[in-house]
Amino acid sequence: QVQLVESGGGLVQAGGSLRLSCVVSGRTVGDYGMGWFRQAPGKEREFVSVISRIGSTWYADSVKGRFTISRDNAKITLYLQMNSLKPEDTAVYYCAAGTYNSGLYSPLSSSQVAYWGQGIQVTVSS
């Protein structure tokens, strides 16, 4: 059974940084595309970033240059380093496990997500 557990969220002031982690069990992180989505109150869940099995990455325009996705060498943890945070980054962030080809040719879409984490709150105060 595949489980994704996020950690690292919280409250931070605008301009600050947070690093989200997603520990994966039941699947090797490096064998599939893995990504992050977020959902702000009253809005639809949106794509944030994806890293493919070969390490190629995609980012939403709204976070490009500020967020960095990565995974550890043991390939059981996915990270999202978030710098220069803005109040509009406030949302529940979800770790997502994609398919074998996720992130190779295009950003990850919700329809390609095989497993979701439970979500973690990130709040950026102005």
* Per-residue pLDDT, 50: 97
End-to-end CA distance of the chain: 40
Please say whether the beta carbons of 116 and 68 come within 8 A: no
Q: What are phi and psi of 71, to 5 degrees?
A: -140, 160
3 state SS of 78: strand
- Give the residue from 7, 1, 4 showing the smallest Cα distance to 24: 4
Q: Is the pLDDT of residue 31 over 90?
A: no
CA-atom Rg of the chain in angstroms: 13
What confidence tens digit (pLDDT) does each residue in 61-119 have? 999 999 999 998 576 899 999 999 999 999 999 999 998 899 998 898 999 999 999 99
Over residues 5-22, the pLDDT tens digits come to 999 999 999 999 999 999
- For residue 65 the two structure tokens come to 């240059």
